[in-house]
Structures are given as C-alpha cells and as structure tokens.
C-alpha cells in the first residue's frame, strides 16, 4: 500500500511540476539629485507581494502619493505620518511572497512565483526623513529575471 501511495505521489509531481519562479534582481538607490556616491542604499527592508491580494497596502501608497505634506503643512504632515504608520503595519501583517534586506551596495534578490503583478516595497529609517520608502509594481510572468530599481526618496526630496 505504501509503495502505491509513493508511486502515485511521484507520478503527480511529474504531471504537476512546481510553479516557475522569477528572480527579482534589485537595487535600492538614492534619488538622483541627492546621490553622493555610486553605491546604493544599504539596509532597506524589501518585500514582494502579489499586487492583487494587498488592497490595503496599495490604498496607503495611493494616499501617501496624494497627500501634499512636503509643503510643510502640519495637518498634511500629521496625516502622512499616520498613513505611513498604517502602511508599515499593513506591510508587516500581510503575507509576502518574499523578503530581503539590501546589502552594502543596495542590492537585493527575491525569488517569487511567476505572476502578472508583483508589488515590490522597500522601507528603511533615514535620519532626518519622516518617510523613507519606495514601491514599484512589476510583471513577473514569463521571465526568469526582472530588474527592479527602488528610488529611495520621498516627495519632499523631488
């Protein structure tokens, strides 16, 4: 009986191969106008999510993109700080496809299942910056490797 089950399991694994993976080969880079060296940003926490399954994270990113806090308006700054805290809570509570921390050159690699839309989100603490994050949606289907550049800046720096 055991041999039959083992043979069936082997047959099913051959008939249903593991999903194909895509390597997200990335780099966290400082903004072009504040770049002091050619190296990237080390210590960035990078998460990869199925973009279709994280509406709360996408909503927070949209809110942060639309708030005009860089003008120094205290109300907008408080709203942005509250939304950023909410975003980080949602990021840490969501099921990620993969995670990495950028190395000393700002580089990271995450292997994910192939799918239409992967949200790559990076965040770090930067002295003097209240919000320090970047995100990008990439297609990860039909490709063995996708290059991702996260520009680690905020609207205040642009």
Least Cα distance to 119 among 143, 95, 83, 102 occurs for: 95
Rounded to the nearest 10 degrees, how much is the dihedral formed by the CA atoms of 10, 13, 15, 19? -170
What is the pLDDT, as a whole number, of residue 122? 95
Question: What b-and-e string marks burial along 48-71, b requiring 16 or more CB atoms within 10 Å of the CB?
Answer: bbbbeebeebbebbebbeebebee
What is the pLDDT, as a whole number, of residue 6? 52
DSSP annotation of 147: E
Say yes or no: domain 20-152 is CATH 2.60.40.2190: yes
Please state the pTM of the whole predicted model. 0.80
Domain spans, the chain: 20-152
User: Tens digit of pLDDT per residue, the chain (158 long)?
Assistant: 555 555 555 555 555 555 689 999 999 998 765 545 557 889 999 999 999 999 999 999 999 888 887 777 788 888 988 999 999 999 999 999 999 999 999 999 999 999 999 999 999 987 777 778 999 999 998 889 999 999 987 544 33
- Relative to beta strand 45-50, strand 107-113 is unpaired
- Relative to beta strand 118-123, strand 45-50 is antiparallel
**CB 44, CB 109: distance < 8 Å:** no
Q: Is 134 helix (H, G, I), strand (E, B) or coil?
A: strand
Measured CA to CA, the distance from residue 87 to residue 28 in angstroms comes to 19
Residue 97 main-chain phi, psi, to 5 deg: -75, -30
What is the pLDDT, as a whole number, of residue 11? 52
Q: Which residue has the tokens 């509250």?
A: 82
């Amino acid at each position: 009986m055991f041999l039959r089950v083992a043979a069936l399991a082997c047959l099913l694994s051959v008939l249903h191969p593991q999903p194909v993976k895509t390597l997200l080969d990335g780099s966290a880079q400082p903004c072009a106008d504040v770049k002091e060296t050619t190296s990237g940003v080390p210590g960035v926490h990078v998460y990869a999510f199925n973009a279709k399954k994280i509406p709360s994270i996408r909503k927070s990113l949209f809110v942060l993109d639309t708030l005009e806090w860089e003008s120094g308006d205290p109300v907008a700054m408080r709203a942005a700080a509250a939304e950023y805290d909410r975003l980080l809570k949602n990021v840490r509570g969501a099921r990620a496809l993969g995670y990495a921390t950028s190395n000393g050159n700002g580089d990271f690699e995450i292997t994910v299942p192939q799918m239409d839309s992967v949200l790559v989100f990076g965040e770090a603490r930067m002295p003097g910056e209240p919000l320090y994050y970047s995100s990008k949606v990439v297609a990860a289907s039909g490709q063995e490797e996708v290059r991702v550049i996260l520009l680690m800046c905020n609207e205040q720096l642009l």
